[in-house]
Amino acid sequence: MSEALLVKVGGSLRGAEALLDELSAYPGPFVLVHGGGPEIGAWLGRLGMESRFVGGLRVTPPEQLEVVEMALYLTGKRLASGLSRRGRRAVALSGRDALCLKGRALPGLGRVGEVVGVEVGLLLDLLEKGYTPLLAPIALDEEGALNVNADTAAGAVAGALGWPAVFLTDVEGVYRDPKDPGTRLLRLTPEAVEALKGEGVLQGGMVPKVEAALSALRAGAPWAAIARGERGVLEAVLREEAGTRFTL
């Protein structure tokens, strides 16, 4: 059996649908953490609500939180049914369920938070019974639900499980020259990441992806990787033939 993995996919169902064959065929166990940005933005737009971001995080006023949760749940249910129809029995959950994700609110962002505790018992029970858990990044604090960045949530869950984290995205990994895919960096440490930042190599949307991979390591994951979500990617990442791997 292949290695147990924490897999993170973005919220674009168009991209995630293309991954369902790959994910359903993976021979090892995995827990999937998913985002829902496009679905959330679409629903907020339909309801005449504004989408606003600060530092890459979606500002979530209390009146928008139900919309965010609804969109995430819908995304999770669609992913779960897609995997189940392909023969991999999947269950869509939220961090609310069995208090999987405990959170702390971040200042100035409304009901947006970070994960401060992970209860993995339900996830492990489902895996033992042959189900694949899918987790929407909603955490709970004393006041209720918190919208958590999916990359951040994935890192926390990977650390709690002690499993490698694979962040699937639309690029093949970290490039020394962003315009040249042939410059993909195979391995990076936190120190190497800081050096790349100093050189101005890490910019734009790659920065939060790299930070999420490093946060997974800090939380206890043995390694993390960023790779393009495509056919055969998980086994290729395990063989270090795809993506960029991060280690301490």
Residues facing 225 on adjacent strands:
166, 245
Residues of the chain with pLDDT under 50: none
The pLDDT assigned to 14 comes to 61
Q: Which residues of 29-41 are buried (b: 16+ CB within 10 A; e: fewer)?
A: bbbbbbbbbbbbe
The pLDDT assigned to 16 comes to 66
Task: Burial-class residue 177 by CB neighbours within 10 Å (0-12, 13-18, 19+).
Answer: exposed
Angle ∠(217,53,95) on CA atoms, nearest 5: 50
The pLDDT assigned to 19 comes to 85
The pLDDT assigned to 55 comes to 81
Among 208, 247, 236, 227, CA closest to 57: 208
The pLDDT assigned to 13 comes to 52
Residues facing 226 on adjacent strands:
167, 244
The pLDDT assigned to 15 comes to 61
Among 112, 129, 110, CA closest to 121: 129
Annotated catalytic residues are: 8, 11, 37, 151, 209
The pLDDT assigned to 181 comes to 82
The pLDDT assigned to 217 comes to 96
